């Protein structure tokens, strides 16, 4: 079973990559964006067929 996870920084942590992405988008003409926060996306294939058990096995 594949499980998706999106990891982002906490709101009070500075995000310099997000600022660079925001500046780049602004330079490309996307002027209506307030803020960009950069993160990571993971797809994890676990050896479990039960959705609930698969989800629980990934929590630390």
Span 15-44, pLDDT tens digits:
999 999 999 999 999 999 999 999 999 998
**Chain centre to alpha carbon of residue 54:** 20
Domains and CATH numbers, the chain: 2-58 (3.30.1280.10)
Residue 60: pLDDT band with limits 50, 70, 90: low
The rounded mean pLDDT for the chain is 90
Residue 59, pLDDT > 80, answer no
Whole-model pTM? 0.66
Q: Are 5 and 58 in contact (CB under 8 A)?
A: yes
Which pLDDT belongs to residue 12? 93
């Amino acid at each position: 079973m594949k499980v998706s996870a999106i990891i982002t920084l906490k709101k009070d942590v500075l995000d310099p990559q997000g600022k660079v992405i925001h500046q780049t988008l602004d330079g490309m003409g996307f002027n209506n964006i307030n803020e960009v926060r950069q993160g990571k996306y993971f797809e994890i294939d676990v050896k479990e067929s039960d959705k609930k058990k698969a989800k629980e096995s990934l929590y630390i």
